[in-house]
Amino acid sequence: MTTPATTSPAPLLSMRGVSLTYRAHDRDVPAVRTVDLDVARGEIVGLAGESGCGKSTLASTILRLQPTSAQVSGEVLVDGADVLTMRWGDLRTLRWGEASIVFQGALHSLNPVHRIGRQIGEAITTHEPEVSDDDVRRRVGDLLEQVGLPRQRAQAYPHQLSGGQKQRIMIAMALACNPSLIVADEPTTALDVMVQAQVLDLLSGLVHDLGVGMLIISHDLSVLADLCDRIVVMYAGRVVESGPADRVFEQPLHPYSGALSAAFPKVGDPAARFAPAGLPGDPPDPAALPPGCAFAPRCPRAVDACSLEVPVLADHGDGRSVACWRVGEP
Amino acid sequence: MSAASTTPRAAVSARQLAWRRRRETLRRGWAEFRQHRAGLVGLGILVVFVVVALAAPLLASSTDISVTRAPGGVLEHPSSTYWLGTDDSGRPVLSLLIWGARISLLVGLTATVISMVIGTLVGLMSGYFEGWGGALLFRVTEWFLVIPFLPLAIVLATVLGRSLFNIILVIGITSWPATALLIRSQTLSIKERPYLERARVLGAGRSHQIGRHILPNVMPMVFANTTLTVAIAILTETTLSFLGLGDPTRVSWGTMLDQAYSVGAITTGSWWFFMPPGICVILVVLSFTLIGQALEDVVNPRLKARR
Amino acid sequence: MTTLATADAAVPEAEARRSGGRRSYGRYVLGKVAGSAASLAFVVVLNFFLFRVLPGDPARTLGRGRLNTPEAIAEFNKTYGLDQPLPQQFVTYLGNLLHGDMGLAISTRAPVSQLILDRMWPTLLLVGTSTVLATLLGVWLGMNQAWKRGSFFDKSTTWTSLVLYSMPEWWLGMVLIALLASGVGPFLGWFPTGGLHTDAANPTVLDTVWHLTLPVITLTLAYLADYSLIMRSSLLDELGEDYLTTARAKGLRDLQVRNRHAARNALLPTTTLIALNLGFVVAGAITVETVFSIPGLGLLAVEGLRGPDLWLLQGTFLVASAGVILANLVANLLYGLLDPRVRV
């Protein structure tokens, strides 16, 4: 299993055997296939993969936000309680109160006709209706300062803000009810590099200051490598590798992680400039997955056996796991 | 891919390729349209009415609708001789309906053609030309958009006189702004697309850009909008005829209703005179609306989520 | 609690815009009022030229069948100043307009402006009541249809709206008369067949309401169909937006997400589309007043048709257009309150 061998209490987030299938008109599309994932308190876990690999879909199940037409199986335990089966009232308490999501703020995750202060305050008043208006206003101002924005920003509308400011607003909003778990879905996409760095600093600072657990989702492995304690790599709805962040990034065991990691040239290594970067081919269509290992058609190390059986996620020691038939072979 | 072949491939001209692509698009569009049950229902209803209109001389003799040679008695109830009874001049209502279909459909369609031509031209030009030319056209469109169409139609019809041609003209003139607005916003968004910039760099002149690039991309939307415009045009013709502005020498569903109202067919309960024309209008307008909605979905699949 | 020292003023955030505040609403209002004034000016000019520049001699066109002798034509031209050169006529026209003089009705010799004032309140009563009812009911209906999309409620009411929308509203009025007043039945005599008062000398409120019931029902149904279809499709558009996921994730109830967030945003395109359809409201007023013989502005316009009465037609056209321009302005100002993004 991927849980670090510590004596800490049960993990904050524990996903066991989670599978999610979308039902289209005539066929089933498996978006997530039997995924196990843990996040402990104070730990930052990165979830990496190309778009379409199912990582955002997986994250949506943490707050049971997946579309109603989707079929989900497995367990999603937040602080021991199964999100997928809990009662509606408990779910509404969990949402934002125990776990929150930082959506990509750059697009349309904020209501365009409400002021920022109102939207952040809404989270507070929904979970703590007894809080007075003045206190809500004060807390909203504190949250804005916490993410490095001036208090007056509460009066602004979303269209008056830049992408970076909106992303910080999303973070401030996610903190409003003091959750124990924060999921950041592509927090740096659509931001320019300088702003990316600021947002990442902000996020890591929060984890260390507040002791929350964080799950960061990104297709950009370099973002995750620096920030996270552990990285989980997904491909075509399955976990293909997981382990400590620096090991996964520098010595990837799965060919796909290797390709992801190689996509970012290492500074100071002249040979890296000439190494082939990027993978040929496209991610598979989830509705028409190839037999056996889904990565086999694009894999430089694939053999015939790879297309026969789906590789099992196996423990490799040192807290690392890989799902590949050819790992360890020369 | 590049194994040398021994048989020479027949040269396919660019024009043939373009036609092949168009036919394929049409075929795909039709397959997509067929999935809309409501659109098919609309199409079915429309076909029935078009056939009736075209076959009018075969279905009802033209002497039936002449006032002087009317065969029946005044406001007769429906019977086995006259399935829908007669009007106040003794003309069989069924025959009036059949011949009226011609006028209603004819006016609706031709007025729409006029409206679409004006609207598309103005829309294209106000969208394409930046600077004060385009801005002026846009302002004029907005001003005309604000003017309520019925008072304007009443004024125009009064001044121009009551004839079939004038009615068509009036409806065309009062309905172009909505189309122009739609075409303009389409043109604006197409103008931003990269391939247009590339065409410009390659030296494409204005007419080439508009004719070969913008227009073909705007046409599907124009087409879908046309059917909805026909629906409105038919309603407008019916209303104008009801108000007494229609051609007095022709029978249309609107003139039937004007007649019915004037002779008090409503309050005396001669329902066979005023119910059928209204029902026909509803059916035809509904069919165009359903077809138009289905076409909109075909042209812009994103809209499908809306219905 | 840590405050990070990253002052965002230090980093140039290029896309930030300072707009949407109270001062910008003032600027927005001024812009819209100026635009409406320009539209009104255009209508005033158009009104003049419609009757004079179009083909045919005005006397012959408007006096069709009545003015047969050259003397009659000459007198007509003199009365209406049509023998003056065109620019002179225009100046006279503008001058008269500024004094509220819209000429005299040909048949009754009553001042047109007086006629318009007298006939205004039945129209306002009829149209006002119908549009308010239709907006409230239509928005509510459209919202519920979108939220319960695909249900029996949605399908049946949407089809009903489509049929009502495809119907000439005045024909619906005729059917209602035949069913509920006089004609076919089954509830004959429940309502009057037309007019505004049973006894014009002793008008009572209850009597007026009784006379206006069928016309108001007719117009309300006609407008309601249009408005509910608009609100339904606007809300369906909104339902796919990301900020609704954010709202749900924050723990809000479904009803709160629907009303506070989705419907609130769907009101924006709905307001725009309703404003775009104001011409339809005017058309409804004209035709329904005709069918029910309600002595309002719509019937006045149709009476101008009968003559044809040049001054009366000109006056009613101007008033109808001015009314729509004013209503459009109100709708625009309302939209500016609802959508902070336009107050640039």
What residue ranges do the domains of chain B occupy? 41-306
- Tell me the pTM: 0.86
Which residue among B143, B238, B281 places its CB closest to the CB of C39?
B143
**A127: chain C residues, CB-CB within 8 Å:** 251
What pLDDT is recorded for position C226? 93
Is the pLDDT higher at A151 or at B157?
A: A151
pLDDT at residue C53 in the model: 64
Residue B271 CB partners (closer than 8 Å, separation 6+): C178, C183, C184
Spatial separation of the C-alpha atoms in residues A83 and A20, rounded to whole Å = 14
- B266: closest CA of chain C, how far (Å): 6
Give the distance from CA A97 to its chain's centroid.
Answer: 19
A contacts of C245 (beta carbons < 8 Å): 65, 103, 109
Which chain C residue is nearest to residue A63, measuring alpha carbons? Answer: C249
How sure is the predictor about B87, in pLDDT bands with cuts at 50, 70 and 90? Answer: confident
Candidates A47, A21, A48, A16; CA nearest to A32 is A21
B83 or C316: whose pLDDT is higher? Answer: C316
User: Does C14 contact chain A (CB < 8 Å)?
Assistant: yes
Q: pLDDT value at position B208?
A: 74
Return d(Cα A113, Cα A130) in angstroms, integer.
25
pLDDT of the residue at C307: 72
- Mean of all residue pLDDT scores within chain B: 84
User: Side chain identity at A52, as an amino acid letter?
Assistant: G
* ipTM of the complex model: 0.85
Q: Which residue has the higher pLDDT, A239 or C58?
A: A239
Question: A275 or B216: which carries more pLDDT confidence?
Answer: B216
Q: Do A164 and C8 touch (CB under 8 A)?
A: yes
A126 has a chain C CB within 8 A of its CB: yes
Q: What is the pLDDT along chain C (344 residues), one digit of tens a residue?
A: 333 333 333 333 333 445 556 668 888 999 999 999 999 999 999 988 887 766 656 666 666 556 667 777 777 777 767 777 778 888 888 888 888 788 877 777 788 888 899 899 999 999 999 999 999 999 999 999 999 988 999 999 999 999 999 999 999 999 999 988 888 778 888 888 888 887 777 778 888 899 999 999 999 999 999 999 999 989 998 888 889 999 999 999 999 999 999 999 999 999 999 998 899 999 999 999 999 999 999 999 998 888 778 788 889 999 999 999 999 999 999 999 999 888 86
Least confident of A109-118, A121-130, B191-200, C109-118: B191-200
Phi, psi dihedral angles at A232 (to 5 degrees): -120, 125
Indicate yes or no: CB of B238 within 8 angstroms of CB of C168.
yes
Q: How many CB atoms lie within 10 A of CB A10?
A: 13
* C154 at interface of A, judged by CB pairs closer than 8 A: no
- Stretch 143-182 of chain A: residues touching chain C, C-beta under 8 Å: 145-150, 156-157, 159-165, 168, 173
Phi and psi torsions of C64, nearest 5°: -45, 120
Q: Which of B142, B148, B260 is closest, CB to CB, to C282?
A: B148
Provide mean pLDDT across the span A266-294.
71
Edge-to-edge order in the sheet of strand A321-322:
A99-102, A181-185, A213-218, A44-48, A230-235, A238-244, A321-322, A314-315
Helix (H, G, I), strand (E, B) or coil at A75: strand
Residue where the block lists tokens 């399935």: B83
Task: Give me the residues of C, 5-24, that contact B with CB < 8 A.
Answer: none
- C-alpha A236/C-alpha A51 separation (Å) is 10
Stretch A160-185: mean pLDDT, rounded?
A: 90
Residue (of C311, C315, C317) closest to C286 by Cα position: C317
Subunits next to B (3 or more Cβ pairs <8 Å) are C
Side chain identity, residue A170:
M
Any contact of A with B, at least 3 CB pairs below 8 A? no
What pLDDT score does B127 carry? 85
Residues A54-73 have a mean pLDDT of 88
Closest CA to B71 of B97, B94, B55, B52: B94
CA distance C259 to C143: 9
User: What pLDDT shows up at residue B304?
Assistant: 56
> Contact A209/C3, CB-based, under 8 Å?
no
Phi, psi of B270 (to 5 degrees): -85, 70
Q: What mean pLDDT comes out for the span A22-40?
A: 85
Confidence of residue B2 (pLDDT cuts 50, 70, 90): very low
pLDDT at A78 over 80: yes
C-alpha to C-alpha distance for A95 and B65, rounded to whole angstroms = 73
Judge whether A205 is closer than 8 Å to chain C, CB to CB.
Answer: yes
- DSSP, residue by residue, B81-125: SSTT-B-TTS-BHHHHHHHHHHHHHHHHHHHHHHHHHHHHHHHHH
| Percent of all residues in chain A with a pLDDT value above 90, rounded to a whole number | 34
- CATH fold of B41-306 reads MetI-like fold (1.10.3720)
- Taking CA–CA distances from B267, the nearest residue in chain C reads C183
CA distance, residue B186 to nearest chain C CA (Å): 17
pLDDT (0 to 100) of residue A121: 94
CA neighbor of B224 nearest in space, from B5, B32, B92: B32
Question: C158-162: which pairs have CB atoms within 8 A and are 24 or more residues apart?
Answer: C158/C229, C158/C232, C160/C225, C161/C224, C161/C225, C161/C226, C161/C228, C161/C229, C162/B286, C162/B289, C162/B290, C162/C225, C162/C229
B70-79 long-range CB contacts below 8 Å, 24 or more apart? B75/B263, B75/B265, B75/B268, B75/B270, B75/B273, B77/B272, B78/B272
Whole-number pLDDT of residue C64: 59
* CB–CB contact A157 C340 (8 Å): yes
For residues A159 and A78, the answer to whether their CB atoms sit within 8 Å is no
Mean pLDDT for the stretch of residues A281-287: 78
User: What is the C-alpha to C-alpha distance for residues C137 and B40, in angstroms, rounded to an integer?
Assistant: 31
Nearest-10 crossing angle of helices B271-299, C152-165: 120
**A44 sits in which H/E element:** strand A44-48
Q: Which residues of chain C are within 8 Å of residue A149 when distances are taken between CB atoms?
A: 8
pLDDT at position B36 is 85
Kindly state whether C302 is in contact with chain B, defined as any CB-CB distance less than 8 angstroms: yes
What is the structure's pLDDT at A106?
Answer: 62
**Spatial contact of C336 and B162, defined as CB atoms under 8 Å apart:** no
Residue A124 banded pLDDT, cuts 50, 70, 90: very high
pLDDT for position A274:
63
What residues does A78 pair with on adjacent strands? A13, A81
- C-beta atoms of A112 and C243 within 8 A: yes
pLDDT of the residue at B19: 82
Q: What is the model's pLDDT at position B257?
A: 94
Average pLDDT of span B28-43: 87
Looking at residues A182-188, what average pLDDT do you find?
89
pLDDT given for residue C262 in this prediction: 93
**Which of the listed ranges A63-72, A311-320, B33-42, C151-160 does the model predict with the highest average pLDDT?**
C151-160
Indicate whether A46 pLDDT > 70. yes
Q: Locate tokens 């003559």: which residue?
A: C307
Note the maximum CA span of chain C: 97
Interface check C259 vs A, CB under 8 A:
no
Q: A48 by DSSP, 3-state: which? A: strand
The distance of C278 to chain A (nearest Cα, Å) reads 25
Q: Which of B36, B154, B286 to mutate to test the interface with C (most CBs of C within 10 A)?
A: B154
Q: Which of A264, A200, A263 is nearest to A227 (CA)?
A: A200
Q: Across the interface, do B156 and C50 touch by the CB < 8 Å criterion? A: yes
β-pair partners for A243: A231
The secondary structure element, H or E, covering residue C59 is helix C58-62
Cα distances (angstroms) measured from residue A316 to each of A242, A246, A319: 10, 16, 7
**Secondary structure element (H or E) that encloses residue A13, with its range:** strand A13-23
